[in-house]
Structure 1
Amino acid sequence: MSSHHDDPVVKLGADESWERLAGTTLGRLVTHVGEVIDIFPVNFVVDDRTIVFRTAEGSKLYELTVNSDVLFEADDHDDGSAWSVVVRGNAFRIENSREIAAADELPLRPWIPTLKYNYVRITPTGVSGRAFAFGEEPER
């Protein structure tokens, strides 16, 4: 019988999931409007157990106003292991001027030289994370 430690896939608790998210900057936002499901890469920061990103006017922002239910995923890997965290939640444009001023202080810079004036915050309804240990395929 294999112990939990030998398991190549380990579920991460909420604390560890948020810790992993806080250590990376690129994630993927999945939106769902009617029959259309879209995925967008976004540069993000963790702010008090929420996800904050900036975006220009356009389809991403439009889709969020139609249906705020989103999935957000981020992952990373090194030589021996990898992890993936999925956040389910609701995404809303930050409109309150005090919150916008606070968001301006976050270490959030676009990777490409475009003007992105809109901040979006994802408030989670659930978070799940998994860590994977790499290794040889077991004998069949």
Structure 2
Amino acid sequence: MNKDADRNPPHATSDLGRRVAARRAQLGLSCEDVAERAGSTPGYVAYVEEQVPTPSIEFLVRLANALETTVQDLTGYRADLAPGGVHAGHRARMEEVGEAECWELLDGHGVGRVAVEGRDGLAVFPVNYQVVEREIVFTTAADSILARASASGAEVAFEEDRLDEAFSQGWSVLLVGSVRRVSDETAVRRIMDAGRPEPWAGEGRDTLVTLSPRRVTGRRIRVPGAPGTPSGSVAQGPSRA
């Protein structure tokens, strides 16, 4: 891989540039890789990242496809908006996702939601997670609802999803199982070696918790003609809600 894959400009001068550079780094791609995917040149991809570009919508669409994302995500159009506000896709269908693919979709780490029963009833919290040996690992505050649930081995639900609002399609993965605190030094070291999840909420969340799922399920919405949809895909009647 070209050393350009590790290139991180000291200061991109546009939000678009920062988002493009961050997404490229996340995928482990060089400017050459992105340029080949987008039908452009490495120099122009670097210019988009480092300057204040005014690319055409046609190029933005190609760039978003090259980076496996959407124009809205690259431009930050939905940064402060709740997802799912666009209309449903034409002839959309829902498919079940197998367990092996569910783990692939979780992609080793990310931000998901945990639903847990607390003193005041059900509560849902976003968490930064890491996948370690088919378990979900996250950190929380020692006095949090999640920490109390893990002390008793309570059962929780964990959900992660992705939406492609440009084409009204996406997927979701649901894991259900018990949570427990991690205190054994060997287990803590194993998790640290795999990459400890860093909460966006900041410091003070040092209690390691693991979710051991007994059930892993997923669903995907496909729209005929959208990227990633097999050719000839057609709707097969209504799906269960």
The answer to whether TM tops 0.5 is yes
- 1:46 positional shift: 1.1
Report which structure shows greater RCO (CA 8 Å, sep ≥6).
1
The TM-score, its normalising length taken from structure 1, stands at 0.82
What per-residue deviation string (whole Å, max 9, x for no partner) do you get for residues 68-122 of structure 1?
Answer: 1110001012233210000010100111101111112233222132132111110
Structure 1 partner of 2:214: 125
Identity of aligned residues (%): 27
Distance 1:103 1:64 in 2: 17
What per-residue deviation string (whole Å, max 9, x for no partner) do you get for residues 4-40 of structure 1?
Answer: xx76101000001111112550000011247611111
The answer to whether the aligner puts 1:49 opposite 2:127 as a matched pair is no
Structure 1 partner of 2:114: 29
Structure 1 partner of 2:201: 112
More strand by percentage: 1
The answer to whether the aligner puts 1:65 opposite 2:151 as a matched pair is yes
* Contact kept? 1:31, 1:64, Cα under 8 Å: no
SS at match of 1:100: helix
Distance 1:41 1:127 in 2: 19
More helix by percentage: 2
Structure 2 partner of 1:88: 176
Distance 1:25 1:83 in 2: 14
* Contact kept? 2:131, 2:137, Cα under 8 Å: yes
**Structure 1: unaligned runs, 5 residues or longer:** 1-5
* Contact kept? 1:33, 1:67, Cα under 8 Å: no
* Contact kept? 1:32, 1:67, Cα under 8 Å: no
Distance 1:106 1:122 in 2: 16
* Contact kept? 1:24, 1:76, Cα under 8 Å: no
* Contact kept? 1:53, 1:121, Cα under 8 Å: yes
Structure 1 partner of 2:78: none
Structure 2 partner of 1:3: none
SS at match of 1:115: coil
Change (3 A) 1:24 1:7: farther
**Structure 2: unaligned runs, 5 residues or longer:** 1-90, 225-234, 236-241
SS at match of 2:194: coil
RMSD: 2.2
Paired positions, count: 131
